[in-house]
Amino acid sequence: MINLSGIVKTYPGSSGPVHALKGVSIQVNSGEIFGVIGKSGAGKSTLIRCINMLEKPTVGTVVVDGQELSSMSERDLRDARKKIGMIFQHFNLLSSRTVYDNIAFPLELVGWDKKKIEDAVLPLLDLVGLSDKRNQYPSQLSGGQKQRVGIARALASRPKVLLCDEATSALDPQTTQSILELLKDINKRLGLTIVLITHEMQVIKQICDRVAVIENGVIIEQGPVIDLFAKPETTTTREFIRTIINYDLPDIFKDTAFSPVPLTDSHLIVRVSFLGKAAKEPIIASLIRHCNVDVSILFGNIDHIQNIPFGTLIIEVTGDTTSMQSALNYLEARELGVEVIGYVKRDALAIS
């Protein structure tokens, strides 16, 4: 559905060129919700605006629904954009127009008659839950209601793609939840492909199928959301995950020095992530039985990612060097996320 290949975006700066995007390539499948997460200034807003060519890439190609937008004339590009809706952080509603008229505005611009506009707008008002607000003005609406108007307006031209530029960042947590549920519902009902950018991992966790992590204009990691939670490969991804799931080591390890290799009379400390059916299996009991080791659970947490159970354990594995390595091999051979924190001597722990 969407294919960005080798996207480079460079702006002129007072002290030389500013490289906002540095060879970004992503592919978004039809009907999925794809998230792009990054810190402020990482390049995520520039990236999403390249999809509808509000920002023209310096280098690279943009293909949406089989059309290469990056090589189109301005006239053809205007037509292509009609199939790409967009909603914004600050709503961008026209204050002098009612809810109905805000939604109708893009249809008026392309010359639809009043009856055709009405037939399109009324179902959208119902879809976003604002039928009773049709004659009100933006100043009379809450933030969540304004964003619902923005969503309905973006859907008015019946797009195949919906771009969400920090669509929930200006909203409180409860309203954010309701807007995300609405986007998920629209995705399912209309088969709409959604691309959203955010700096909030909770948004990614709640509704995205896949995600790309962007840093300094480069995609540093991407894949299914559940895979990134189970096996984050970069420090930045781990930092984002820590905002909603506790990945910190327990206080018993405060000031503890870990060795990457076994020491004399040392114990192995491992973080194990469980996903889906693995969260229900007796992994620890099996580990003890098969590998002749003792296992202590030092920390545990269970959560859900879109109804898929996800848990983490920090365990201490005790045994001889061969047995500990066997235990590590046993864990890594299963559908688990395994992170070796290191080896410590028993007398190095605060619980000793």
CB within 8 Å of 260: residues ≥ 6 apart: 340, 342, 343
pLDDT at residue 348, as a whole number? 62
Is the model's pLDDT at 349 over the cut of 80?
no
Furthest-apart CA atoms within the chain: distance in Å? 82
Same domain (yes/no): 92, 206: yes
Least trusted range by pLDDT, from 33-47, 57-71, 169-183, 235-249: 235-249
pLDDT in tens, 200-226: 999 999 999 999 999 999 999 999 998
Same domain (yes/no): 342, 197: no
Is the model's pLDDT at 12 over the cut of 60?
yes
Same domain (yes/no): 232, 256: no
pLDDT at residue 106, as a whole number? 93
pLDDT at residue 181, as a whole number? 95
pLDDT in tens, 158-179: 999 999 999 998 899 999 999 9
Average pLDDT over residues 94-111: 95
Domain count, the chain: 2
From 203, 220, 318, 308, select the one nearest 269 (Cα to Cα). Answer: 318
Same domain (yes/no): 314, 209: no
pLDDT in tens, 83-93: 999 998 888 99
Output the domain CATH number for residue 102: 3.40.50.300
pLDDT at residue 273, as a whole number? 85
Owning domain of residue 344:
251-348
Q: Tell me the C-alpha distance between 164 and 45, whole Å.
A: 10
pLDDT at residue 180, as a whole number? 95
- pLDDT exceeding 70 applies to what percent of the chain? 97
pLDDT at residue 311, as a whole number? 83
Same domain (yes/no): 200, 288: no
Domain final residue, candidates 242, 259, 275: 242
- pLDDT exceeding 90 applies to what percent of the chain? 68
Same domain (yes/no): 79, 155: yes
Q: Tell me the C-alpha distance between 69 and 50, whole Å.
A: 10
Q: Tell me the C-alpha distance between 79 and 43, whole Å.
A: 26
Strand partners, 21: 9
Same domain (yes/no): 11, 54: yes
Q: Tell me the C-alpha distance between 325 and 117, whole Å.
A: 68
pLDDT in tens, 250-285: 777 777 888 999 888 889 999 988 876 766 778 889
Same domain (yes/no): 135, 232: yes
Spatial strand order of the sheet with 161-165 comes to: 84-88, 161-165, 193-198, 33-37, 210-215, 218-224
Average pLDDT, rounded, for the chain: 91
Name the residue type at position 236.
T
Q: How confident is the model at residue 312 (pLDDT cuts 50, 70, 90)?
A: confident
Same domain (yes/no): 102, 228: yes
Same domain (yes/no): 22, 54: yes
Same domain (yes/no): 237, 329: no
Is the model's pLDDT at 350 over the cut of 50?
no
Average pLDDT over residues 141-165: 95
Is the model's pLDDT at 352 over the cut of 50?
no
Same domain (yes/no): 176, 203: yes
What are the C-alpha distances in Å from 26 to residues 167, 195, 265? Answer: 21, 11, 48
Name the pTM for this structure.
0.84
CB atoms closer than 10 angstroms to residue 259: 12
Domain final residue, candidates 222, 242, 262: 242
Q: Tell me the C-alpha distance between 346 and 352, whole Å.
A: 7
Strands 33-37 and 193-198: parallel
Output the domain CATH number for residue 265: 3.30.70.260
Domain final residue, candidates 242, 274, 296: 242
Average pLDDT over residues 24-38: 97
> Which residue do the tokens 């998920």 mark?
184
